[in-house]
Amino acid sequence: MAYRVSKRTRVEPAYTRPMERHPTRTCLARLPGGELRRLGADDLTEIDGLRAQPDTLVWLDIASPTADDLALLRDEFDLHPLALEDLEKRRQRPKVDAYDEQQMIVSYEVLPATEADREFDLGELHLFAGPGYLVSVRWQESPAMGDVTARFQQRPDAVGRTPGALLYTVLDAVVDGYFPLIDRLSDRIEDLEDRILDGSQTRGTLRAILDLKRELLELRRTLSPQRDVANALLRRDLPLVDDTSAPYFQDLYDHLVRVLDQLDLQRDLLASALDANMSVTSNNLNAVMKRLTAFTVILMVPTLIAGIYGMNFDFMPELSSPLGYPFALGVMAVAMIGAAVFFKRNDWF
Amino acid sequence: MAYRVSKRTRVEPAYTRPMERHPTRTCLARLPGGELRRLGADDLTEIDGLRAQPDTLVWLDIASPTADDLALLRDEFDLHPLALEDLEKRRQRPKVDAYDEQQMIVSYEVLPATEADREFDLGELHLFAGPGYLVSVRWQESPAMGDVTARFQQRPDAVGRTPGALLYTVLDAVVDGYFPLIDRLSDRIEDLEDRILDGSQTRGTLRAILDLKRELLELRRTLSPQRDVANALLRRDLPLVDDTSAPYFQDLYDHLVRVLDQLDLQRDLLASALDANMSVTSNNLNAVMKRLTAFTVILMVPTLIAGIYGMNFDFMPELSSPLGYPFALGVMAVAMIGAAVFFKRNDWF
Amino acid sequence: MAYRVSKRTRVEPAYTRPMERHPTRTCLARLPGGELRRLGADDLTEIDGLRAQPDTLVWLDIASPTADDLALLRDEFDLHPLALEDLEKRRQRPKVDAYDEQQMIVSYEVLPATEADREFDLGELHLFAGPGYLVSVRWQESPAMGDVTARFQQRPDAVGRTPGALLYTVLDAVVDGYFPLIDRLSDRIEDLEDRILDGSQTRGTLRAILDLKRELLELRRTLSPQRDVANALLRRDLPLVDDTSAPYFQDLYDHLVRVLDQLDLQRDLLASALDANMSVTSNNLNAVMKRLTAFTVILMVPTLIAGIYGMNFDFMPELSSPLGYPFALGVMAVAMIGAAVFFKRNDWF
Amino acid sequence: MAYRVSKRTRVEPAYTRPMERHPTRTCLARLPGGELRRLGADDLTEIDGLRAQPDTLVWLDIASPTADDLALLRDEFDLHPLALEDLEKRRQRPKVDAYDEQQMIVSYEVLPATEADREFDLGELHLFAGPGYLVSVRWQESPAMGDVTARFQQRPDAVGRTPGALLYTVLDAVVDGYFPLIDRLSDRIEDLEDRILDGSQTRGTLRAILDLKRELLELRRTLSPQRDVANALLRRDLPLVDDTSAPYFQDLYDHLVRVLDQLDLQRDLLASALDANMSVTSNNLNAVMKRLTAFTVILMVPTLIAGIYGMNFDFMPELSSPLGYPFALGVMAVAMIGAAVFFKRNDWF
Amino acid sequence: MAYRVSKRTRVEPAYTRPMERHPTRTCLARLPGGELRRLGADDLTEIDGLRAQPDTLVWLDIASPTADDLALLRDEFDLHPLALEDLEKRRQRPKVDAYDEQQMIVSYEVLPATEADREFDLGELHLFAGPGYLVSVRWQESPAMGDVTARFQQRPDAVGRTPGALLYTVLDAVVDGYFPLIDRLSDRIEDLEDRILDGSQTRGTLRAILDLKRELLELRRTLSPQRDVANALLRRDLPLVDDTSAPYFQDLYDHLVRVLDQLDLQRDLLASALDANMSVTSNNLNAVMKRLTAFTVILMVPTLIAGIYGMNFDFMPELSSPLGYPFALGVMAVAMIGAAVFFKRNDWF
């Protein structure tokens, strides 16, 4: 189930992706010599044996966990009751929880949007790291996980050297997914700015600003605690993060700070865009009023002249002149054109 | 008495719920073997004996305390004079006060609203935890307390293992009550946004924005110190929170942070909604002015033509033509229709 | 002299209350047995003897100090030159200054307003606490001091147990004075909101918002350092605050935090009210423009019809019909009424 | 050269006061017995001898330093190359730099404005304090320095007791100069508020708001690091600030906090004033539109009536009545007056 | 490749300067006696020998690194894989990364803008400092680097005393480049303010405000982490920054704080300018509406008079008077002129 960044920003989720109906389990192991071992879905009972082996790393990846999976996690990996509850409830905040030797990490990755008016979905990811193992649980197809699986199979000795190295690889793949999203959001903000300054389509623009602001707020709400997670992994004296992997986690932290910097910049630019929208609206109003004034004057002056020659005085010498009528029409035309030129020159319409 | 989130945001409360007239006292005890013991309202003198027993947990729950109750609390549980004063005055800020071995915790739970224009009431809750006992005092019927009582009676050995475990259970039930409220508030904000972008009902919308903002502010004011309470219970080296219960209090803290995150998000969305409302109002004004301009031009052009043919010149050849009148009417119609089409095409009305 | 929260928000005060001309000195002592001793204005030379006595508490309260009083303070209580300078200059920020064994505390209490357009005045209060004595200096009649004097005389052994207990009693009386003020400010904000949403009296409303904002800002500026004072008394390892009195000072701190919470809430509500005021003004403008448009159309349509029948064509069959005139009037009336109904239905006036 | 708070808020200064052409050097010394010694501009070579004397304080004050002065400072007082560079470049941020035994302090004092549209100039001041000496360098005539010089000459044993005491005296004189400025700014804000609420002179008001905001921002930018300087002098374990002088530096810090409090208050009041200005402008617009509507209706109604009686129907009985004309005029007058009274009553003009 | 501050604010860069095609490598060394040694592009194999020599400083400066350069850096200077990845990806946040004995510093310098609508480009700069060497890598022609090269060649013993001294010289040259930029931005803000208050060119002004805001935001985003870099170099106990160079790095930090102060000031001034722009637009609208009202009244009054004398009553004595017509024209003229004078006097047009 994806942490949907749609109009429904509920604490408890209401929407479920159909894919949840296809639960899968993948278990990969890096054996002492750096060899790769892949357990089928039916061989999961062998996990116990593998974990008992020294210098072996076991990675169990579960998509859309079933009750059986939860039981396996509880029995084989000693998950804390609260961690199991989180797995059942989902929608957790990104966090690191330390239970004795086990670290539980909650993270969110970017998924392609399932609805047309959104830029992205978010996919929840629970990771459990302990001595010799990493367990990853998610509720949707995951591009990041697919990527890490491929790399693990290619270079089990590098990617699967330690649980910390594997954890870094997963989190790095997750964070890399945010960069193209940030670029797309930048494009949308620029488009918005251009549309606003062109003065076109103001009603739709307002909706676009609100939608974009909501997406930025949601994204910030997810990424800010993820940065804290990266920082906590660095700062706390965890066995996961040894001297060799510390620069990598520092790098992860730097990437998250970079993304958050961009989000803050985009929020500020969006705020400016909203202000600019107000200004453009006010300017447009000024322009409309100037036109109204110009039209009023242009039409009222000849109306007044016509009114004058419509008066019924007995002695109005112009009335009896054969040139009176064309003269009056000429005066009207001159007055109208003169006023029009005047207002045009002063940029009133 | 409920901490009313109504228009009256007074420091001192003015409103009292009628239920206060039905004070109740419930005393439950978990005996050494895990057995449950329930004391009737008349057996409260036995509390002293129960507390003297080793490995026993006594839970005294008081709704709408009377002077007798306060005397009992003072004599039997050695409440500090300031704690008693707080019970009499109520309307305390959520806090943890440490008096020697006793911890006093003030919290607020969500209650159904008693007035139509509000989403919720808040119910004050004072908790006193010490070695072997927990005392809870409140001034209204409490869904959270009903829930905890039921669970205590079902599993006295789990829920009533230690005062810390019981305290956690109570606070967890309190915090769980905030989640559906947050969802309802999210719905209201979305409705507001839709109403604003539809451009309908602006005066009522303004009132709704102000009311919602007040409710969010009140809620934040109550929840932010509750988060600090959860943090203080974790950070301070209290005998209440031992190694086993620490992850649970951490979980409580995480939940409160999640709720506060949502409140902050909602506050930002509401601010955007207010800005959008201003923009919509300005856009509407533009639309009105464009219409005024269009109507003015459409009506003034034929008026001018009529004025011209109302002039009294002796020599106006059109006047004597039998087709003059229909021709003039035609010119007027063409001018009006032309102007209308022009303004319609430019989206001016 | 009161720290006036008026339009004159000067650093240096310009206004002096006439009462300053009636300086008074009151000296009360709690003798070893808990007995009360009251020194007349002429017996102040005995202070030295009283202070020499063991287990005695001397409280000297000075209103509107004269040069003699300052000399007495300097000689008898060893006030630091800077403390004396502060007494002469007044208008100090609430603060705790530690001079060896002596603590100097500056606080402000709420006084009834002396001008009609304000809600409150503030009265400055300097307190000097040291072993066995408390000195309080102020420049106006003080409700808090009157209250504490009465309580000291009734229960000298409780209120006057230690300088810390007496100091707490004074500061508690000062802080209690803020609660009714906060309630009055809440009322004013609600009234403002109602007036704004009713759409009535906008010019006066603006003045009221500005005045209220100024009062809230002034109040926050005074109360925020007072909270820091309470915190400093708690945190610093002062002999004044022993284990017994620590919960009381904690309570004082909690009260100040509660008041400041309310002020922040009120500031946010006031900001919303100002936004709402802008929205209402914009809505009103929309309403005015709609009416203008409606009136223009309603009056111009019959004018056009009249213009048509005022044309001077020779062949206008309607003109010679006896029913032409009533018919034309009828058409005008129908057009006017039709337009009026149309605009009324669309809520344009 | 003054740190000009004008429209040119450059990092590098472009403006130089003519007074810079009159460099002066003053050297005062407090000899062991408390005696005063004044060195003429030609006796500066004796500084070396004076500094060698025990228990002597040498104060060298330089206005508009020349290359010779810088050489003297480098050779005689061992100024760090960076400190010399700062003296040459000026426009430093207020700061404390510690070079071994020497403290360098940069501060700014208030000077009378040299341009009509500003309230104040700022004068840069560099101070170098070390064992037995204080050097002050500035680039303009300095009221604070004049004041301190007079006091040093009157009471060399007090003001010149230690370099710390002299440093305090200088900084105290500098800070005292900010108080009257704050009062003048308060006056200007009040005048602005009154002008805004009166609805008068909006264009000039806007310029005044912008100018005042710029001055407040500049002032805050200068004073906020000066507060940090005072704090650093207190917190760091410097030989300059001994136990006796610590309360004085605390007092200095309190004064700066007080001034900054006022600046923050003024910034908030100014922001309110700007909001109020927007509100007043909107209200004025409403008033103008109401008048336009009223005038339109008042003039169009009689125009319509005139149009009706200008129709050319053959059978219009009123036309032939001798009272028709006065009657029509009467109807027009009644309609106009009625409309005018109606709009007046509803406060539309 | 320059970190472009254009509309494309992407995380990943899309734009490459052509100059990247001209990679250059410069290697300068300060030999033990203070002598300068310059290695040609073909002698880089000698770096190894130079580095082995005691008391020698090697500075390798690479512009637009090729794959060969990266290999050299990896092999000769033991760059960490993450540092190499950063060199390949570029667009890093300013930071200090510590890899064992090597410090990696990322900084940005100001470059002349390559597009007309921008004030500046930013050039990325990666620095690697370790015992006896500094490596600088960049992707564009660099004024700062040219400056440092010249100074190194003139005074190799001073500038190249230690890697820390050389690093300071480079960073100082980088920071110095920001000062003239800040001045140019100040000028643009002042111009904007003047244009806004003059009321001229509002559409272009809005674009200019948005552009300037974007540039300030980008600049702040680059400079704020650079300040943190300077602070980290000071605070962390690095071998690079010894006691002698500490004041220089402090000075660097002070300069960055000064620039950031200015940026904050400019951001506040720009925000004021935007508010002022809104106010001016509103004022202009008021002015337009006043003119519309004035024109309406001025033209409608004579139209009404003409309408009256166009009525067809049989008995209208004025009509038969020979002076009727001129009299009517006179009344119209008087009414028009009277209204015009009235509105002019009240400043309505």
Assess contact for E221 and A267: CB atoms under 8 A. no
Q: What is the three-state SS of chain B?
A: CEECCCCCCCCCCCCCCHHHHCCEEEEEEECCCCCEEEECCCCHHHHHHHHHCCCCEEEEEEECCCHHHHHHHHHHHCCCHHHHHHHHHCCCCCEEEEECCEEEEEEEEEEECCCCCCCEEEEEEEEEEECCEEEEEECCCCHHHHHHHHHHHHCHHHHCCCHHHHHHHHHHHHHHCHHHHHHHHHHHHHHHHHHHHHCCCHHHHHHHHHHHHHHHHHHHHHHHHHHHHHHHHHHCCCCCCCCCCHHHHHHHHHHHHHHHHHHHHHHHHHHHHHHHHHHHHHHHHHHHHHHHHHHHHHHHHHHHHHHHHCCCCCCCHHHHCCCHHHHHHHHHHHHHHHHHHHHHHCCCC
Judged on CB neighbours under 10 Å (0-12, 13-18, 19+), E67 is exposed
Complex-level ipTM:
0.82
Question: pLDDT tens, C227-275?
Answer: 999 999 988 778 888 888 889 999 999 999 999 999 999 999 999 988 8
* D278·E282 Cβ contact <8 A: yes
Residue of B nearest to C290 (CA): B288
| H/E segment holding residue D120 | strand D120-130
Considering only CB atoms, which chain D residues are within 8 Å of E254? 92-93, 95
Say whether pLDDT at B236 is over 70. Answer: yes
pLDDT reported for residue A39: 87
Q: What is the distance between the alpha carbons of residues A84 and C265, in angstroms, rounded to a whole number?
A: 39
How far CA B49 is from CA of B29, B55, D90, D141, E162, in Å, comes to 11, 13, 80, 85, 79
Q: What is the mean pLDDT of chain E?
A: 86
pLDDT reported for residue D18: 39
Considering only CB atoms, which chain D residues are within 8 Å of E320? none
Question: pLDDT tens, D274-328?
Answer: 888 888 888 889 999 999 999 999 999 999 999 999 888 888 888 888 888 889 9
Considering only CB atoms, which chain C residues are within 8 Å of B320? 314
Gap from E262 CA to chain A (nearest CA, Å) = 19
Say whether pLDDT at E6 is over 60. Answer: no
pLDDT reported for residue B62: 92
Chain A contact for B202 (CB, 8 A cutoff):
no
Q: What does DSSP say about strands A95-99 and A120-130: parallel, antiparallel, or unpaired?
A: unpaired
In which region does residue B26 sit, left (phi positive, over 0), alpha (psi from -120 to 50) or beta (all else)?
A: beta
Chain E contact for D8 (CB, 8 A cutoff):
yes
**Quick one: pLDDT band at residue B116, thresholds 50, 70, 90?**
confident
- Chains linked to E by 3 or more Cβ pairs within 8 Å: A, D
pLDDT reported for residue E25: 87
pLDDT in tens, chain D (349 residues): 333 333 433 443 333 343 455 778 889 999 988 889 998 777 778 888 888 888 899 999 999 898 889 999 999 999 999 999 999 888 889 999 988 889 999 999 998 888 777 888 899 999 999 999 999 999 888 899 999 999 999 999 889 899 999 999 999 999 999 999 999 999 999 999 888 888 765 668 888 888 899 999 989 999 999 999 999 998 877 888 888 888 999 999 999 999 999 999 999 999 998 888 888 888 889 999 999 999 999 999 999 999 999 888 888 888 888 888 889 999 999 999 999 999 999 888 7
Determine the 3-state secondary structure of A97 from DSSP: strand
Considering only CB atoms, which chain A residues are within 8 Å of B297? 295, 299
Assess contact for C93 and C224: CB atoms under 8 A. no
The closest of D347, D345, D342 to D298, measured between CA atoms, is D342
Size of interface A-B (CB pairs under 8 A): 142
Chain E contact for A197 (CB, 8 A cutoff):
yes
Q: Which candidate in D210, D308, D316 is best for mutational testing of the E interface (most E CBs within 10 A)?
A: D210
Considering only CB atoms, which chain A residues are within 8 Å of B296? 292, 295-296, 299
Assess contact for E312 and E282: CB atoms under 8 A. no
Q: What is the distance between the alpha carbons of residues D297 and D307, in angstroms, rounded to a whole number?
A: 15
Q: What is the distance between the alpha carbons of residues B24 and B206, in angstroms, rounded to a whole number?
A: 43
**What is the mean predicted confidence (pLDDT) over C333-341?**
93
Q: What are phi and psi of B58, to 5 degrees?
A: -110, 130
Gap from E283 CA to chain D (nearest CA, Å) = 7
Say whether pLDDT at B3 is over 70. Answer: no
Residue of E nearest to A193 (CA): E210
How far CA D59 is from CA of A282, D36, D99, D130, in Å, comes to 62, 11, 19, 11
- Chains linked to D by 3 or more Cβ pairs within 8 Å: C, E
pLDDT reported for residue B13: 35
Question: pLDDT tens, A162-206?
Answer: 999 999 999 999 999 999 999 999 999 989 988 888 876 566 888
Nearest to C307 among B295, B296, B310 (CB): B310
Q: What is the distance between the alpha carbons of residues C210 and C208, in angstroms, rounded to a whole number?
A: 5
pLDDT reported for residue E114: 80
Q: How far is CA D198 from the centre of its chain?
A: 25
* D190·C274 Cβ contact <8 A: no
Nearby residues of A300 by Cβ (< 8 Å), 6 or more positions away = B300, E295, E296, E299, E300, E303
**Quick one: pLDDT band at residue E202, thresholds 50, 70, 90?**
low
Considering only CB atoms, which chain E residues are within 8 Å of A290? 288
**Quick one: pLDDT band at residue A18, thresholds 50, 70, 90?**
very low
* A279·E281 Cβ contact <8 A: yes
Say whether pLDDT at C164 is over 50. Answer: yes
E strands present in A100-257 = 102-112, 120-130, 133-138
Chain A contact for B191 (CB, 8 A cutoff):
no
* A250·E97 Cβ contact <8 A: yes
* E210·A276 Cβ contact <8 A: yes
Give this prediction's pTM.
Answer: 0.86
| H/E segment holding residue E95 | strand E95-99
Provide the chain E residues 274-313 that lie in CB contact (below 8 A) with chain D: 275-276, 278-280, 282-283, 285-286, 289-290, 292-293, 296-297, 300-301, 303-304, 307-308, 310-313
pLDDT reported for residue E318: 83
Say whether pLDDT at C315 is over 90. Answer: no
Q: What is the distance between the alpha carbons of residues D241 and D249, in angstroms, rounded to a whole number?
A: 8
Chain A contact for E123 (CB, 8 A cutoff):
no
Say whether pLDDT at B164 is over 80. Answer: yes
Q: How far is CA B136 from the centre of its chain?
A: 24
**What is the mean predicted confidence (pLDDT) over B27-35?**
89
| Tokens encoding C11 | 């650093």
Q: What is the mean pLDDT of chain B?
A: 86
| Tokens encoding C251 | 């309570």
Q: What percent of chain A has pLDDT over 90?
A: 51
Question: pLDDT tens, C31-88?
Answer: 988 889 998 777 778 888 888 888 999 999 999 898 889 999 999 999 999 999 999 8
CB neighbours of residue B196 within 10 Å: 27
* More confident call, C33 vs E200: C33
Say whether pLDDT at A140 is over 50. Answer: yes
Q: What are phi and psi of E222, to 5 degrees?
A: -85, -35
* More confident call, B336 vs B18: B336
* B217·C265 Cβ contact <8 A: yes
pLDDT reported for residue B349: 74
Question: pLDDT tens, B41-58?
Answer: 777 788 888 888 888 999
Q: What is the mean pLDDT of chain A?
A: 86
Nearby residues of A191 by Cβ (< 8 Å), 6 or more positions away = none
Considering only CB atoms, which chain D residues are within 8 Å of C9? 186, 262, 265, 269
Say whether pLDDT at E13 is over 50. Answer: no
Chain B contact for A92 (CB, 8 A cutoff):
yes
pLDDT reported for residue E322: 85
pLDDT reported for residue A135: 96
Gap from D199 CA to chain C (nearest CA, Å) = 10
Q: Which candidate in E4, E5, E9, E212 is best for mutational testing of the A interface (most A CBs within 10 A)?
A: E9
Say whether pLDDT at B59 is over 60. Answer: yes
**What is the mean predicted confidence (pLDDT) over C179-206?**
85
Range with lowest mean pLDDT among B57-71, B99-113, C156-170, C195-209: C195-209
H-assigned helices in C35-142: 47-52, 67-77, 81-89
Q: What does DSSP say about strands A24-30 and A36-39: parallel, antiparallel, or unpaired?
A: antiparallel
pLDDT reported for residue B202: 61
Question: pLDDT tens, E144-190?
Answer: 999 999 999 999 988 989 999 999 999 999 999 999 999 999 999 98
Range with lowest mean pLDDT among B101-105, C1-5, C25-29: C1-5
**Quick one: pLDDT band at residue B21, thresholds 50, 70, 90?**
low
Chain C contact for D188 (CB, 8 A cutoff):
no
Q: How far is CA B135 from the centre of its chain?
A: 27
Q: What is the distance between the alpha carbons of residues D318 and D325, in angstroms, rounded to a whole number?
A: 8
Say whether pLDDT at E342 is over 60. Answer: yes
Gyration radius from chain C CA atoms: 34
Question: pLDDT tens, E75-130?
Answer: 999 999 999 999 988 888 999 998 888 999 999 999 888 877 788 889 999 999 99
Q: How far is CA C274 from the centre of its chain?
A: 18
* D312·E308 Cβ contact <8 A: no
Say whether pLDDT at B270 is over 70. Answer: yes
H-assigned helices in chain D: 47-52, 67-77, 81-89, 143-154, 156-159, 163-176, 178-198, 202-235, 246-309, 317-320, 324-345
pLDDT reported for residue B61: 94
Question: pLDDT tens, E21-66?
Answer: 577 888 999 998 888 999 877 777 888 888 888 889 999 999 989 8
Amino acid identity, position A96: V
**Quick one: pLDDT band at residue C20, thresholds 50, 70, 90?**
low
Sign of CA dihedral C78, C83, C85, C89: negative
pLDDT reported for residue C168: 95
**Quick one: pLDDT band at residue A20, thresholds 50, 70, 90?**
low
Residue of D nearest to E263 (CA): D11
List residues bridging with E260 in a β-sheet. Answer: none
Say whether pLDDT at A16 is over 70. Answer: no
**Quick one: pLDDT band at residue A14, thresholds 50, 70, 90?**
very low
Say whether pLDDT at E345 is over 60. Answer: yes
pLDDT reported for residue B12: 37
* C288·D283 Cβ contact <8 A: no
Judged on CB neighbours under 10 Å (0-12, 13-18, 19+), A337 is exposed
Chain B contact for C231 (CB, 8 A cutoff):
no
Considering only CB atoms, which chain B residues are within 8 Å of A303? 300, 303-304, 307
The closest of C66, C72, C119 to C88, measured between CA atoms, is C66
Chain E contact for D236 (CB, 8 A cutoff):
no
pLDDT reported for residue A201: 57
Chain E contact for A210 (CB, 8 A cutoff):
no
**What is the mean predicted confidence (pLDDT) over C186-196?**
90
**What is the mean predicted confidence (pLDDT) over E242-263?**
91
State the residue for tokens 């990806």: E89
Considering only CB atoms, which chain D residues are within 8 Å of C319? 312-314
pLDDT reported for residue B225: 94
Say whether pLDDT at B246 is over 50. Answer: yes
State the residue for tokens 């697919």: A146
How far CA A306 is from CA of A224, B313, D151, E223, E313, in Å, comes to 72, 11, 88, 70, 19
Residue A92 DSSP label: P
Say whether pLDDT at B17 is over 50. Answer: no
